[in-house]
Amino acid sequence: MHYTFAKDYIEIIIIGIIFNLFAFAFTHMARADGNPKLAAVVMIVGCAINMILDPILIFLFDLGIQGAAIATVVSQAITALWLLFYFTKGSSVLKISLKDLKLNKPIVKAIFAIGMAPFAMQLASSFVQVFANNTLMTYGGDMAIGAMTVINSISLFFLMPIFGINQGSQPIIGFNHGAKHYHRSKKAFIYSVTAATAILLIGSTLIQLFPASFVGLFNNDPTLTQMAVEGMKIFLFTLPILGISVVGPNYFQSIGKAKISLFLSLLRQVLLFIPFLFILPRFMGLKGIWFVMPISDTITAAITLYFLRREMKRTRGQIPCPKVADDLMAG
């Protein structure tokens, strides 16, 4: 039954995947173009259309899971076409035209280099999830997998704003670093990591004080609730220091240091997470799984701080040549 639902859903999503790709790319381009408000409005409208179409197609037209997929594709198509109009006929600084759509090898290489870090992170996360689920099944069964799902969902409440901060700060950091206004890129990073840490500190405090209330949003089974509460208080204990671990790699990606960004991105959820996930449960059982993330977070934050401190020292006191800065700002 679950396979049938997944098959019916994915077949329609794949047909409309081109709209998803364009919507995703154009949204980022709009922010880089200096119009973050439009990007936000388009995303909100797209989500609203999806929410409106879901019950209409699922229940009124009796399309079931296929209706949900159609609603998603339609909302993404509207988002993509809206932003395509903005970049072709609208008031954008960047204009898209067919005659300019030519591959430039150095630019393509730079795009691949900078984009490799988030790509590798997404790919690795999928493999890590499979490995983590198998480990959870071994030491806690289906109940443990359910508890981890709840914990991850709760963590996203507070991590999603951090991802938004990353996306918003990236063009600011990149532009000023490229113009050699290093003090500005550093200031943007400091503001970003401060805001991220404040949000995560509030989230961590609420989670530690009211864990059952958060778990209750997703589940009312007493056994699962108890397991999720116990696991969450340990698994998310180091949530406040994630500001450094998440915003730090984004800083290196923004300034074009793709290798460091890739290394730091993989460090927390792959290079450290998998070995600890393999070792700790053998000695501590299910509780060992809960301790994997705090240990990985602490080590990752320390290593990220080392690379950040080294980069800040490298650019300390450097100021742009006035003519170079003016040319960059004009260009």
Which contacts (CB < 8 Å, 24+ apart) does range 45-49 have?
45/78, 45/79, 45/82, 46/75, 46/76, 46/78, 46/79, 47/75, 49/74, 49/75, 49/78
pLDDT of residue 179: 87
Between 262 and 242, the higher pLDDT residue: 242
pLDDT of residue 262: 84
pTM above 0.85, yes or no: no
The predicted-structure confidence for 281-316, as pLDDT tens digits, reads as follows: 999 999 999 999 999 999 999 999 999 999 998 887
Q: Judging by beta carbons within 10 Å of its beta carbon (0-12, 13-18, 19+), is residue 60 exposed, middle or buried?
A: exposed
pLDDT of residue 80: 95
What's the Cα-to-Cα distance from 11 to each of 20, 69, 142, rounded to whole Å? Answer: 14, 9, 28
The answer to whether 42 and 83 have CB atoms below 8 angstroms apart is yes
Q: Which residues contact 100 (CB under 8 A, 6 or more apart)?
A: none
The predicted-structure confidence for 38-67, as pLDDT tens digits, reads as follows: 988 999 999 999 999 999 999 999 999 999
Nearest 5°: phi and psi at 95?
A: -115, 130
Question: What 8-state DSSP symbol labels residue 93?
Answer: S
pLDDT of residue 316: 77
Checking if the pLDDT of 321 tops 60, the result is no
Task: Mark 185-200 as b/e (b = at least 16 C-beta within 10 Å).
Answer: bbebbeebbebbbebb
User: Both tokens of residue 277?
Assistant: 């996930």
Other C-beta atoms closer than 10 Å to the C-beta of 240 total 21
What's the Cα-to-Cα distance from 259 to each of 117, 169, 179, rounded to whole Å? Answer: 8, 20, 21
Other C-beta atoms closer than 10 Å to the C-beta of 243 total 22
Helix locations, the chain, DSSP H: 2-15, 17-32, 36-55, 64-88, 105-178, 182-209, 211-215, 222-235, 242-254, 258-266, 273-284, 286-315, 322-330
- State the angle between helix axes of 105-178 and 182-209 in degrees (0 to 180), rounded to the nearest 10: 80
Q: Which residues contact 155 (CB under 8 A, 6 or more apart)?
A: 236, 239
* Interval 130-158 mean pLDDT: 92
Q: Given the structure tokens 């890590």, which residue do they identify?
A: 128
What's the Cα-to-Cα distance from 278 to each of 122, 140, 234, rounded to whole Å? Answer: 21, 15, 18
Rg (CA), the chain: 22
Q: How far apart are CA 330 and CA 35, in angstroms?
A: 18
Query: pLDDT confidence of 323, banded at 50, 70, 90?
Result: very low
